[in-house]
C-alpha cells in the first residue's frame, strides 16, 4: 500500500478515536468503598428514620403513611429502586460503553443493573430528553456531558418510588444529576436528587468506588435479575387491599427516640436538620450508654461480642 | 431541530399508502418502531449502507435515525445506527428504549408520543387522544376538546394519510368528545349497506363519516345537555352491557364498560395485539380522579375500575428490564404502565380509606376538609384552582361514601 | 539509487514517520483515567494560587445527609458502624471516657484532620500566602494549612492537623486543548493520635490521610465541594476507610460561628 495513504489512514483513525478533551475512562468493575451509612446500605433504615432527608411536610406525611407490607403485595414485589440508589445501595458498579461502529463515536455509557436497581443508560450523543408525556421507567432517561474532567449526567422520567427503603418518597417529577470524577482508581459520584414535590431542597449524597481488577462485585455484577411475584401472605390476596398507616397512627414514630435518644423532630427529617446550627437544638441530647444493635460487628466490622442478651454487638 | 424534522417529513413507514391495501395486514416490512433526529449527518458510506439495509428489510431495532424523507433533503438520517447499535446491548434498557424515542411534536400545542409502531398518543388536546393506524385506517379513542380538533386532525394527518374509520369515546366529558364532529366527518365510514335494518344508509353510516361509539349512558348524559353537547358531537353508535368487541387493523379491540367509576358511562378500550389500554379518566396521572357523582360516578367504582385495569395490565415480569409490557394511555398525563397504575390505585385507595375512617368517626364534610385527608398526596395530585380542585375531590369521595350508607 | 526509487523511499519514510508520530502523540493523549498529574504550584513556575484550576476560597457549609446519627450527635460508645476497625481499635474504643479527656484537657481528640471534615461545620478557605491554602473550621476552631511546592514539614511534635502537602491535579491537554477543571490533592501525616469519631474510635500516630477536593457547579449556580478521603492506619484499620463528604458554598460568613472543641 502507498505509505502516504497508510500513514494518513492511521492518523485519521487515531484522531477520530482520541477524545476532543480529557475525559476519563469509566469502563470496568468498580467495587464499593463505602465508609458511610452502613446501616442504610446493609440491614436497612429503621421504619421511621428520615434523618438527613430534606423532606417537606408533604414528603413527611407521605413517608409516615408507608407500610412495609406494600412490598409483600404481588404488585409491589418486583419494582426497582430509584437511580439515586446508586449512592445509597451497597453494591459495586459494572460500567461499559457503546460506540457507533461506523463513526467510532461514543453513543452511551451503561451502568449495570443490581438485583434491585434498573440498568442505566447515559446517552452521550446529544439527544434530547423525551416529552413530559413519555413513559417513566425505574431507570429513567439519562443524558451526559463532560465539563472538564467531570462527567455530569441528568436523569428525568423516573418512576415514583422511595428514596429510602423505609418509604420516604420521591416523586415522578424529580430530576437527578450526577457528578462523576475519577482520581486514580477511585471513582466518586456526587448525586443530587431534586424533587419539588417532596423535598424542600435537593438531596445531595456522595459515594466512592475503587476499580477492581478481579471484577468481583458481590451481587452487584451489573446483570439484571428476573423477578416473579408470588402471593406471600394469604391476607394480602384480598383484591385491592393497600396497606398503609392512617395519619397519626404510624406505630414506629418514636422508635428511634427510644433507641438512640434523638428527638423526634430530628428523626422526621427536614432541611433545617442538615446544617451545623441545628446542633444548638440538640443541647439536651445524651447518647445511649452503650451501642446495642448494628454496632459495626459481624458483616459490618469486627467479630461480634455476645453478651448473653442474644443481641450481637 | 425535532420540530423542524417533523414539519418537513413524516415519521412513519415510507411505504404508507393513500388507500388501505385490499388484502389484509401485509404492509411492506419496514417495521421501524420510532425515529429520532440523529445529532450528526451520515457520511456517504453510511448513507450507502443505509440504502442497502433500509428498504425491504425487517428492521426491528428499537429506534432508528430516519433516512431522508420526501421534502426534507437536508435531513438525512442513518438507519444503520439502529440496526447495528440498538438491536444489541442498548436494547437492554428496561423500558429506556421507549424513552429513547424522541417525542414527535404535532402542532405547537400538541405532543405526539409514539407508543407502538402503529399506536400514538396525542396530548394537549384537552383529554389525551389515542391513535391506532392500520390498513383499515385510523381508530381514534377520544377526540379532545372542540377547539383543538383542527390541530388534532392535522396531527393525525402528519401520522398517516389513511382515513379515520372509527371513534370511540371513553366518557361524555367535553375534553374527550369535543372533536367528535370534526374528526368523524373528516373520516370515512367503515359501515356499508344497512340491509334490512330499517334505517336509511345515511343514518346507518353516519352520513358516510366515521362512526362514534360510546356506552349508552354517554349518549343519555350528552343528550340531556344540548348547550354543552351539540347534536353533531353525540355518539352515533352505543353499546349496553359489559363490553363491545371488534376486530380492526389486525387487532382485537375490546371496549369495556366500567360502571359507576369516573361516571356511569366509562369505557376502557383494550387493543389486545398492540397491548395498549386506553383508560379514559379512570387513570389520570395529573390529578386526583374526577369522580362525577352527579353523572353516576363513585369512589368505589373508580377503585374497582382501577383494580380491573391492574388485572388487565401485564407488567414486564419476570424480565423486568425489558421494554415488553402493557401500556396504558390515561385520560390525562403521561403514557403509563403497570407500575404507574398500581401507584395511582394505591393513592386513590388510601384517600378512600382515610375519608372512610373520618366518616366512620362521625366527621362532617367540613370537618373532613379541615382535617385534610390528602396530606402527603395533595402536592402531587391536588390543586387549589382549576376545574377539579382537591376540595371537590374530597367532597366527591365523602358524598360517594355517605350516600351508600 | 534512481530518482524514482529515492522519491519512493522518501515517501515511505514520511508515511512511516507520520504513523510513528501519531502513535507517540496519541499515547500522550490518554484519557486522564489514571489521575493526570499537572503539577502546578511546584515553586518553579506559577505560584499555587496563580495556577489554581479551581477556586476553593470562600465560605462552605457541611450538609449532613449521610451518617447523620454519627455526625450530628455523638453516637453511643461501641458504635463502630461503617469503619473497618481492627480488634485493637475496638479494645481502645470500648474504653472511651469523655470525662477523662476533659479532665486531661484534651477535648479536641475528635477534631483531628482525619475526622474534622466529617464534623458538621463551616469552612472558611483563604490563601494564607501564594503557596499555602488555609482551611479553617468554626466547629472546634481548627485550622488546616495545605502547603504547595517544595515546603518541608517543620520538625517538632505532631499536631491535630498534621502536615499537609498539597498539589493541583489537572487533566492532561488533548488535541492541543487544555480542558477546564482539576482537583486538589492533599496528603496529611505527622498527626497526633485522636478519634475518627466522637465516641472514641481511635486512629494512631501512623495514620495517613489522603484527600481529593473537587468543586462542581449546579445549573442553579450552587457550588459544592466534594472531598473524597482515604484514611489508612495499619494499627487500627483493617483496610483504608474511604468517605465522600459534601460542602455547599455560602455567599458570606454571616453564619460563621466559632465554637470550642467538645469532648462529648
Residue-by-residue DSSP string for B89-142: GGG-STTHHHHTSPPEE-SSS-EEEEEETTEEEEESSSS-EEEEEETTEEEEE-
**CATH class of the structural domain B103-348:** alpha beta
Q: Is the pLDDT of residue A151 over 80?
A: yes
Decide if B307 touches A, using CB distance below 8 A. Answer: yes
Name the band, by pLDDT with cuts 50, 70 and 90, for residue A294: confident
Query: Model confidence at A215, in pLDDT bands (50, 70, 90)?
Result: confident
Preceding amide of B318 cis, omega within 30: yes
User: Which residues are bridge partners to C135 per DSSP?
Assistant: C125, C144
> Which of the four pLDDT bands, split at 50, 70 and 90, describes residue C154?
confident
The confidence band for B109, taking pLDDT boundaries of 50, 70 and 90, is confident
Is residue C24 over pLDDT 80? no
Q: What is the phi-psi region of residue C123: left when phi exceeds 0, alpha when psi lies from -120 to 50, beta otherwise? A: beta
| pLDDT band (50, 70, 90) for residue B163 | very high
Q: Please give, rounded to a whole number of angstroms, the shortest distance from the CA of A281 to a CA of chain C.
A: 11
Q: B217 by DSSP, 3-state: which?
A: helix
Question: Scanning the structure block, which residue is given the C-alpha cell 518541608?
Answer: C152
Name the β-bridge partners of B137.
B134
pLDDT band at A253 (very low <50, low <70, confident <90, very high): very high
pLDDT (average), residues B198-219: 83
Domain limits at C128? 40-250
Residue C263: inside a domain: no
User: Confidence class of residue B202 from pLDDT cuts 50, 70 and 90?
Assistant: low
Is B23's pLDDT higher than 50? no
Residue numbers in A near C61 (CB within 8 A): 275-276
Give percent of chain C with pLDDT exceeding 70: 81
Does any domain span residue C180? yes
Give pLDDT tens digits for C230-258: 999 999 999 999 999 999 999 999 999 99
pLDDT of residue B100: 45
In chain A, where the domains are located: 28-35+65-211
How far apart, in whole angstroms, are the C-alpha atoms of residue B157 and residue B368? 49
On whether both C21 and C100 belong to a single domain, the answer is no
Q: Which CATH code is given to the segment(s) A28-35+65-211?
A: 2.40.128
C71 and C45 housed in the same domain: yes
Touching, B vs C (3+ Cβ pairs under 8 A): no
- Determine whether the interchain pair C243/A35 forms a contact, defined as Cβ–Cβ distance below 8 Å: yes
B90 lies within 8 A of chain A by CB:
yes
| Whether A203 contacts A54, CB under 8 Å | yes
Q: Which residue has the higher pLDDT, B123 or A308?
A: B123
- Same-domain check for residues C64 and C23: no
Closest CA to B65 of B88, B46, B44, B52: B46
In sign, the C-alpha dihedral spanning B320, B322, B327, B332 is: positive
Helix (H) or strand (E) segment spanning residue B30: none
Nearest in space to A78 (alpha carbons), one of A227, A277, A273, A185 = A227
Counting as contact any 3 or more CB pairs under 8 A, the partners of B are: A
Q: Helix and strand tally (H, E) in chain A? A: 5, 11
d(C-alpha B25, C-alpha C75), whole Å: 70
C-alpha grid cell, residue A108: 452511551
pLDDT value of residue B225: 79
Question: Quick one: pLDDT band at residue A29, thresholds 50, 70, 90?
Answer: very high
Say whether both C61 and C133 belong to one domain: yes
A positions 150-169 inside 8 Å of C (CB):
150, 152
Residue A6, pLDDT > 80, answer no
Please name the residue that has the C-alpha cell 466559632. Answer: C258
Query: Is the ipTM above a cut-off of 0.95?
Result: no
Q: What is the pLDDT of residue A240?
A: 81
Cα Rg of chain C (Å, integer)? 24
**Chain B closest CA to A237's CA: distance in Å?**
13
CB proximity B83 to A under 8 Å: no
Rounded to the nearest integer, the mean pLDDT of chain C is 88
Q: Are residues C173 and C199 in the same domain?
A: yes
| Lowest pLDDT segment from B293-302, B341-350, C35-44, C46-55 | C35-44
pLDDT tens figures, B339-359: 999 999 999 999 999 999 999
- Quote the pLDDT of residue B42: 37
| pLDDT band at residue C35 using 50, 70 and 90 as cut-offs | very low
**CA gap A137, B364 in Å, rounded:** 41
Residue with cell 481528640: C109
Q: How large is the average pLDDT for residues B93-119?
A: 67
Q: What is the pLDDT of residue A19?
A: 46
- Let me know whether C97 and C51 are in one domain: yes
Residue A92 distance to chain B (closest CA, Å) = 19
**B204 pLDDT tier (thresholds 50, 70, 90):** low
Residue B313 corresponds to which cell in the numbers above? 395490565
Give me the percent of chain B exceeding a pLDDT of 70. 70
Whether residue A132 and residue B111 make contact (CB cut-off 8 A), yes or no, is: yes
Q: In Å, how far is A311's CA from the nearest CA of chain B? A: 36
Mean pLDDT in residue range A200-208: 97
Cα distance between residue C87 and residue C94, in whole Å: 10
Q: Is residue C255 part of a domain?
A: no
Cβ atoms B312, B305 nearer than 8 A: no
Cβ-contact B214, B172 below 8 angstroms: yes
- Chains near A (3 or more Cβ pairs under 8 Å): B, C
Does residue C262 fall inside a structural domain?
A: no
How far apart CA A51 and CA B325 sit, in angstroms, is 37
**Burial environment of residue A214 by CB neighbours within 10 A (0 to 12, 13 to 18, 19 or more):** exposed
Note whether C76 contacts A260, CB cutoff 8 Å: yes
pLDDT at B47 over 80: no
Domain with CATH 3.60.15.10 in chain B: 103-348
Q: Which pLDDT score, from 0 to 100, does residue C18 have?
A: 55
CB within 8 A of C38, min separation 6: which ones? C53, C168, C169, C170, C171, C172, C182
Instruction: Say if the Cβ atoms of C31 and A25 lie within 8 Å.
Output: yes
Q: Does the structure show a pLDDT above 60 at A258?
A: yes
Q: With helix as H, strand as E and coil as C, how does B157-189 read? A: HHHCCCCEEEEECCCCCHHHHCCHHHHHHCCCC
Is A68's Cβ below 8 Å from some Cβ in C?
A: no
* A51, A164, B107, B249, C180 from B151: Cα distances, Å: 50, 44, 6, 24, 47
Distance from CA of A228 to the nearest CA of C (A): 33
pLDDT 10s digits, B275-326: 999 999 999 999 999 999 999 999 999 999 999 999 999 999 999 888 899 9
Residue A291 and residue C79: Cβ atoms within 8 Å? yes
pLDDT reading at C2 higher than 80: no
| pLDDT value of residue B226 | 76
Give the pLDDT band of residue B195 (cuts 50, 70, 90): low
Q: Is A287 on the interface with B (CB under 8 A)?
A: no
Whether A208 contacts chain B with CB within 8 A: no
Best CA proximity match to C202, nearest among C77, C87, C93: C93
Entry field: residues in chain C: 264
Mean pLDDT of chain B, nearest integer? 79
**Is the pLDDT at A36 greater than 80, yes or no?**
yes
The tally of domains found in chain C comes to: 2
Give the pLDDT score at B17: 33
Amino acid at each position: 500500500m502507498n505509505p502516504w495513504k497508510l500513514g494518513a489512514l492511521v492518523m485519521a483513525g487515531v484522531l477520530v478515536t482520541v477524545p476532543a478533551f480529557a475525559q476519563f475512562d469509566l469502563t470496568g468493575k468498580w467495587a464499593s468503598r463505602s465508609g458511610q451509612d452502613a446501616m442504610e446500605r446493609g440491614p436497612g433504615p429503621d421504619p421511621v428514620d428520615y434523618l438527613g432527608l430534606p423532606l417537606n411536610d408533604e414528603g413527611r406525611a407521605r413517608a409516615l403513611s408507608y407500610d412495609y407490607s406494600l412490598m409483600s403485595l404481588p404488585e409491589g414485589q418486583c419494582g426497582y429502586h430509584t437511580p439515586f440508589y446508586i449512592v445509597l445501595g451497597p453494591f459495586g458498579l459494572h460500567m461499559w460503553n457503546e460506540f457507533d461502529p461506523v463513526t467510532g463515536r461514543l453513543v452511551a455509557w451503561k451502568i449495570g443493573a443490581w438485583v434491585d436497581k434498573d440498568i442505566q443508560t447515559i446517552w452521550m450523543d446529544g439527544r434530547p430528553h423525551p416529552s413530559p408525556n413519555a413513559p417513566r421507567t425505574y431507570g429513567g432517561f439519562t443524558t451526559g456531558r463532560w465539563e472538564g474532567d467531570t462527567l455530569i449526567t441528568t436523569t428525568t422520567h423516573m418512576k415514583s418510588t422511595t428514596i429510602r427503603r423505609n418509604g420516604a418518597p420521591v416523586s415522578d417529577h424529580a430530576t437527578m444529576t450526577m457528578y462523576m470524577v475519577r482520581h486514580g482508581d477511585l471513582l466518586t459520584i456526587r448525586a443530587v436528587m431534586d424533587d419539588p414535590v417532596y423535598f424542600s431542597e435537593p438531596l445531595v449524597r456522595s459515594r466512592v468506588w475503587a476499580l477492581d481488577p478481579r471484577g468481583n462485585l458481590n451481587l452487584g455484577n451489573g446483570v439484571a435479575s428476573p423477578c416473579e411475584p408470588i402471593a406471600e401472605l394469604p391476607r394480602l390476596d384480598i383484591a385491592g387491599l393497600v396497606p398503609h398507616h392512617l395519619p397519626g397512627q404510624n406505630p414506629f414514630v418514636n422508635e428511634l427516640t427510644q433507641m438512640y435518644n434523638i428527638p423526634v423532630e430530628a428523626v422526621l427529617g427536614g432541611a433545617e436538620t442538615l446544617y451545623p446550627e441545628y446542633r444548638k437544638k440538640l443541647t439536651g441530647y445524651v447518647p445511649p450508654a452503650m451501642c446495642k444493635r448494628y454496632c459495626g460487628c459481624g458483616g459490618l466490622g469486627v467479630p461480634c461480642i455476645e453478651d448473653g442478651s442474644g443481641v450481637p454487638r | 431541530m425535532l420540530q423542524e424534522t417533523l414539519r418537513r417529513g413524516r415519521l412513519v413507514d415510507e411505504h404508507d399508502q393513500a388507500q388501505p391495501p385490499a388484502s389484509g395486514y401485509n404492509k411492506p416490512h419496514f417495521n421501524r418502531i420510532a425515529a429520532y433526529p440523529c445529532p450528526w449527518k451520515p457520511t456517504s458510506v453510511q448513507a450507502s449502507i443505509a440504502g442497502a439495509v433500509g428498504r425491504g428489510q425487517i428492521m426491528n431495532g428499537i429506534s432508528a435515525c430516519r433516512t431522508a424523507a420526501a421534502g426534507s433533503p437536508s435531513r438525512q438520517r442513518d438507519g444503520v445506527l439502529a440496526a447495528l447499535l440498538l438491536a444489541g446491548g442498548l436494547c437492554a434498557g428496561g423500558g429506556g428504549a421507549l424513552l429513547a424515542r424522541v417525542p414527535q411534536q404535532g402542532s405547537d400545542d400538541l405532543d405526539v408520543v409514539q407508543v407502538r409502531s402503529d399506536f400514538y398518543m396525542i396530548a394537549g388536546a384537552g383529554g389525551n387522544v389515542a391513535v391506532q393506524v392500520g390498513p383499515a385506517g385510523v381508530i381514534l379513542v377520544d377526540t379532545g376538546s372542540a377547539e383543538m380538533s383542527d390541530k388534532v386532525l392535522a396531527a393525525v394527518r402528519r401520522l398517516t394519510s389513511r382515513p379515520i374509520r372509527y371513534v370511540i369515546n371513553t366518557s361524555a366529558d367535553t375534553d374527550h368528545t369535543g372533536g367528535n364532529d370534526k374528526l368523524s366527518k373528516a373520516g370515512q365510514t367503515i359501515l356499508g349497506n344497512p340491509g334490512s335494518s330499517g334505517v336509511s344508509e345515511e343514518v346507518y353510516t353516519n352520513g358516510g363519516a366515521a362512526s362514534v361509539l360510546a356506552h349508552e349512558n354517554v349518549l343519555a348524559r350528552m343528550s340531556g345537555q344540548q348547550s354543552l353537547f351539540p347534536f353533531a358531537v353525540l355518539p352515533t353508535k352505543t353499546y349496553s352491557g359489559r363490553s363491545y368487541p371488534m376486530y380492526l387493523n389486525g387487532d382485537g379491540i375490546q371496549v369495556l364498560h366500567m360502571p359507576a367509576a369516573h361516571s356511569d358511562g366509562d369505557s376502557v378500550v383494550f387493543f389486545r395485539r398492540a397491548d395498549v389500554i386506553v383508560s379514559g379518566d379512570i387513570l389520570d396521572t395529573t390529578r386526583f380522579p374526577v369522580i362525577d357523582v352527579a353523572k353516576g360516578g363513585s369512589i368505589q367504582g373508580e377503585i374497582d375500575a382501577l383494580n380491573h385495569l391492574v388485572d388487565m395490565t401485564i407488567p414486564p415480569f419476570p424480565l423486568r428490564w425489558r421494554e415488553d409490557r402493557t401500556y396504558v394511555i390515561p385520560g390525562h398525563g403521561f403514557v403509563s404502565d403497570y407500575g404507574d397504575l398500581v401507584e395511582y390505585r394505591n393513592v386513590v385507595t388510601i384517600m378512600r380509606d382515610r375519608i372512610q375512617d373520618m366518616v366512620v368517626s362521625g366527621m362532617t364534610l367540613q370537618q373532613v376538609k379541615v382535617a385534610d385527608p390528602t396530606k402527603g398526596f395533595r402536592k402531587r395530585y391536588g390543586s387549589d384552582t382549576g376545574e377539579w380542585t382537591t376540595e371537590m375531590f374530597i367532597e366527591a369521595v365523602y358524598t360517594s361514601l355517605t350516600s351508600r350508607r | 539509487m534512481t530518482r524514482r526509487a529515492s522519491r519512493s523511499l522518501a515517501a515511505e519514510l514520511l508515511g512511516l514517520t507520520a504513523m510513528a508520530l501519531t502513535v507517540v502523540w496519541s499515547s500522550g493523549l490518554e484519557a486522564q483515567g489514571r489521575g493526570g498529574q499537572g503539577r502546578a504550584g511546584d515553586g518553579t513556575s506559577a505560584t499555587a494560587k496563580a495556577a489554581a484550576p479551581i477556586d476553593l476560597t470562600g465560605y462552605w457549609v457541611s450538609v449532613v445527609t449521610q451518617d447523620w446519627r454519627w455526625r450530628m450527635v455523638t453516637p453511643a460508645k461501641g458504635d463502630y458502624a461503617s469503619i473497618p476497625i481492627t480488634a485493637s481499635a475496638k479494645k481502645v474504643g470500648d474504653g472511651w471516657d469523655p470525662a477523662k479527656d476533659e479532665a486531661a484537657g484534651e477535648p479536641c481528640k475528635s477534631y483531628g484532620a482525619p475526622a474534622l471534615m466529617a464534623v458538621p461545620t463551616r469552612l472558611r478557605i483563604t490563601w494564607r500566602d501564594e503557596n499555602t491554602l488555609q482551611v479553617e473550621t468554626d466547629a472546634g476552631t481548627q485550622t488546616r494549612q495545605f502547603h504547595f511546592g517544595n515546603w518541608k514539614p517543620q520538625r517538632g511534635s505532631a499536631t491535630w492537623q498534621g502536615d499537609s502537602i498539597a498539589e493541583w491535579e489537572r487533566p492532561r491537554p488533548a488535541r492541543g486543548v487544555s480542558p477546564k477543571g482539576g482537583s486538589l490533592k492533599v496528603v496529611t501525616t505527622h498527626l497526633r493520635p485522636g478519634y475518627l469519631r466522637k465516641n472514641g474510635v481511635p486512629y494512631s500516630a501512623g495514620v495517613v490521610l489522603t484527600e481529593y477536593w473537587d468543586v462542581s457547579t449546579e445549573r442553579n449556580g450552587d457550588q459544592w465541594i466534594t472531598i473524597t478521603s482515604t484514611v489508612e492506619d495499619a494499627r487500627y484499620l483493617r483496610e483504608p476507610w474511604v468517605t465522600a463528604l459534601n460542602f455547599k458554598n455560602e455567599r458570606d460568613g454571616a453564619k460563621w460561628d466559632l465554637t470550642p472543641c467538645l469532648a462529648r
